[in-house]
Each structure stands twice: as C-alpha cells, then as structure tokens.
Amino acid sequence: MPPAVILPIDPQHPDRRLLVRAGAVIRSGGLVAFPTETVYGLGANAFDDHAIASLYKAKRRDARDPLIVHLASASGLPRVATDIPEALGHLTTRFWPGPLTIVARRHPDVPGRVSANRPTVAVRVPAHPVARGLIEASGVPVVAPSANRFMRSSATRASHVVADLGEVIDLILDGGPTEIGLESTVVATDDDGSVRVLRPGAIPVEAIVVALRDAGIDVPVHVGAVQRVASNDGELSPGLLETHYAPRATLVLVSGAPASSVRLMVQLLHDAIAAGERPGLIVYDEDADSLIDPRMPHRVTISHVGSVASPETIAHNLFASFRDLDAAGVTRIVARTIDAVTTMPGRPPIPGGFGLARAIDDRLIRAAGSRVHLTGSMK
C-alpha cells in the first residue's frame, strides 16, 4: 500500500475539514493515527471487525492484547459497555474527558476482537481537541491503541508513527508532540467491588483515591502486584506484561537512593564500553553534575529528560528519549528510576512513589524487563 498521507493539524483548533476527511477514512474501514493528550493513537472503527483485524496486523499486535475504545463524550458509553459499577461511573464523571480508562462489561454490539474475546471492554473519552473532533466526525466509537509497533515504546510525535507504521496505515494527523507522553491510567473493579488500577498512568492513583473518598464511595483501591503476576499468565491486562514499551537498545535500569544509583550507573556505563556496546545515558537534571564528568568517554550518548522535581517534563520526554537514543545507534541505555522500587522474591519489581513518578517508573521497569539493578543502599 502507498505510504500514509500526513496532514499537519492545529492541536488546539483543528480544521474541521481535515477531521471530516479523517473521520471518513475511519468509517470506511481505514486506519488513522492521531494525537491524544497521552500518546498518539492508531484509530479504527470499533464496530468494524475487519478494520480491527487490520489494525492488529498493522501494529503486529498480539491478538491477546485488548484495545481501548475511545468515545467523543461520556454519553456514548452505553453503546459500548454495560453494568458500569458505581465507583467507575463516578470516576468517569470526575476524570472524563481525560487520561482515565475504565474496564467494564462489553456491550454485545462491540466485536469480541476489540477486547481479545474478553467479556469486558476498556473505554475512555480523550480530552485532546483533535482526538475528540476525529471521533465525533467518524460518528462511531474508535479503538485506538498506541500508534507504535507492538512492544515498542509508544509514539509521542508524528515522526514516531511514521517510523513504525508509515507504510501500513492510511493517514496520520500530525498535531505535534503529545502533551503528557505516557498512557492513560486503566482501572477496573474486582469481584468484591474494590477498584483496581491495572496500569498506572497519567491520572495519579492518589487522585483516584481522593475522588472516590470525596464522593463518599467507600471501596479499597488496589494497585499492581496481584494483577501483574496474573498478567504474566496472559490474563487480565497484557499492557502489564513485563517487557513492553521498550527501546531497541537494551535498557539497564538502576533503582535505589539517587547518590548510590548514580555511582552504579557510572559503573554500568564503563561495563558497557568494556563489552563493546555503544552506551547511552538518560539523565535527570539533578544527576547531571555527578553523572556527566569530563572524564566520561565521548562515546556515551546523553539524553536529558528534565528534572525529577517535574515528573511531567520527564513523562513528556521519556519515550522520545528512547527513540532518539535508538536513532543515534546506541545499543545499551543506562537509566535510573525516580523512586525506589519494591521487590518480592521471584516477582518483578513494583514501582513505589506518587503521582506521575509511579507511572514513569512503571514504564522504565517494563522497558528494562528483568534488567533492574537495586543498589541496596538508601544513602
């Protein structure tokens, strides 16, 4: 097929004619990449089984990894999901439009393929004017997984979409870099009615806890561990797979107190050079002085992603940093988590921390797979 048509579009005040044109492509079964406030999505008509099959094929996405259905407004929810638990219903009124995804019972009109034949479906209403305008113009709910090849880091710039999918999709709406840079927070309910955060993301877990408490909804909120182990059996939530969001280069991650982490990072860089790798470094502003010393070999490619005091900045830059380091030919990337992680024997590390920092560390851990070094020192 011919390469994707790329249409620049104003992210705040999108030209309606462009949205109508892109909406027509979706309605007729095509694939359109577009910016959301989190990352770029690859859109297809959620009611068109054939289009969804072609979306999985384009992304080379594992057929067991379910998609998120995107709506122009919450009023469309009954068309795609039923039996919304009160707690999740409240969270939608509080956080939609925005980067919160709820998982509820799938409406029979939604093809099973959308959710890898689960009885449930994931749904969100994005806040980005281009995303909302496109879904509205399509006249149908739109499935939109991140617009990258499966297992790779999510696309946060149109150029990332072109690099991964430019030859296999119809249209790319280029609305510039996405603002948040990390995916939505995915929430579901357990059988006992408690809320479970399946994927930490752009809406902090703490904000969910506060929203429920303020509404007088008295349910526990669980995060992480149990689900992550379950996900490794291929159930529940494949976005929680241990290796995901990864750069092409091997990511080696350090976790612990900043000072000891930095020391270990320097050591790992030297190891990488000794092993003949082309090393890259992801640097937080706070670490720059101790990490980038004048004796450091020129061969180290450095990517500055911002200050730990501004996790929003790091989130915004993280996936682009992975891709920039890949493009520079780096083969091994060294980085550290923002907060310390907790570990249990035989289980993958679990991010601690608050707010966006937790989501950033979650992505770093998954991108690193099993290559997480704990410094063991909190000094």
**Under the rule (CB under 6 A), what is the footprint of ligand AMP?**
65-66, 68, 103, 115, 118, 120-122, 145-146, 183, 186, 198-199, 236-240
Nearer to ligand AMP (CB atom), residue 26 or residue 121: 121
How distant, in Å, are the alpha carbons of 33, 45, 154, 171, 338 from that of 30?
10, 8, 21, 8, 40
Give the shortest CB-305-to-ligand AMP separation in angstroms. Answer: 21
Nearer to ligand AMP (CB atom), residue 169 or residue 236: 236
71 Cβ neighbours under 8 A, 6+ residues apart: 77, 80, 123, 124, 125, 135, 141, 142
Nearer to ligand AMP (CB atom), residue 90 or residue 199: 199
> Position 323: which residue type?
R
Residues near Mg ion (CB under 5 A) are: 146
Q: How far apart are the first and last CA of the chain?
A: 56
227 interacts with, out of ligand AMP, Mg ion, none, CB within 5 to 8 A per kind? none
DSSP 124-174: E----HHHHHHHHHHTS-EE--BSS-TTBPPP-SHHHHHHHHTTT-SEEEE
Q: Tell me the residue nearest to Mg ion as measured from the CB.
A: 146
> Position 174: which residue type?
D
DSSP code for 246: B
Nearer to ligand AMP (CB atom), residue 66 or residue 256: 66
Nearer to Mg ion (CB atom), residue 241 or residue 357: 241
| 185 closest CA partner among 361, 359, 368, 363 | 359
349 interacts with, out of Mg ion, ligand AMP, none, CB within 5 to 8 A per kind? none
237 interacts with, out of Mg ion, ligand AMP, none, CB within 5 to 8 A per kind? ligand AMP
> Position 90: which residue type?
H
68 interacts with, out of Mg ion, ligand AMP, none, CB within 5 to 8 A per kind? ligand AMP
Give the shortest CB-152-to-Mg ion separation in angstroms. Answer: 8
DSSP 309-375: T-HHHHHHHHHHHHHHHHHTT-SEEEEE-SS-EE--TTS--EE-SSHHHHHHHHHHHHHHTT-EEE-
Nearer to Mg ion (CB atom), residue 245 or residue 284: 245
Give the shortest CB-271-to-ligand AMP separation in angstroms. Answer: 33
Give the shortest CB-153-to-ligand AMP separation in angstroms. Answer: 11
Give the shortest CB-62-to-ligand AMP separation in angstroms. Answer: 9
121 interacts with, out of ligand AMP, Mg ion, none, CB within 5 to 8 A per kind? ligand AMP
